[in-house]
Amino acid sequence: MTLRMGTIILLTTLALLTGCATRDTASGDALYQDLGERAGIANIVEDLLYRIVEDERIAFQFQGIDVVQFHTNLTDQICEISGGPCTYGGRPMTEVHTDMNVTETQFNALAEQLVLAMEDNGVSTSAQNRLLDRLVELHPQITHR
**Which residues contribute to the site for another protein (CB under 8 A)?**
57, 103-105, 107-109, 111-112, 115, 125-127, 129-130, 132-133, 136, 139
Output 39 or 111, the one with its CB closest to another protein. Answer: 111
Output 39 or 142, the one with its CB closest to another protein. Answer: 142
Q: How far apart are CA 18 and CA 12, in angstroms?
A: 10
Q: How far is the CB of 26 from another protein (least distance, A)?
A: 24
Closest CA to 54 of 117, 141, 103: 117
Q: How far apart are CA 69 and CA 72, in angstroms?
A: 5
Q: How far is the CB of 107 from another protein (least distance, A)?
A: 8
CA dihedral of 122, 124, 129, 132, whole degrees rounded to 10: -20
Output 12 or 108, the one with its CB closest to another protein. Answer: 108
H-helix or E-strand spanning residue 5: helix 2-21
Q: How far is the CB of 110 from another protein (least distance, A)?
A: 10
Output 91 or 144, the one with its CB closest to another protein. Answer: 144
Cβ 29 vs Cβ 84: under 8 Å? yes
Q: How far is the CB of 57 from another protein (least distance, A)?
A: 6
Q: What would the 3-class secondary structure string for 65-76 be?
A: CCHHHHHHHHHH
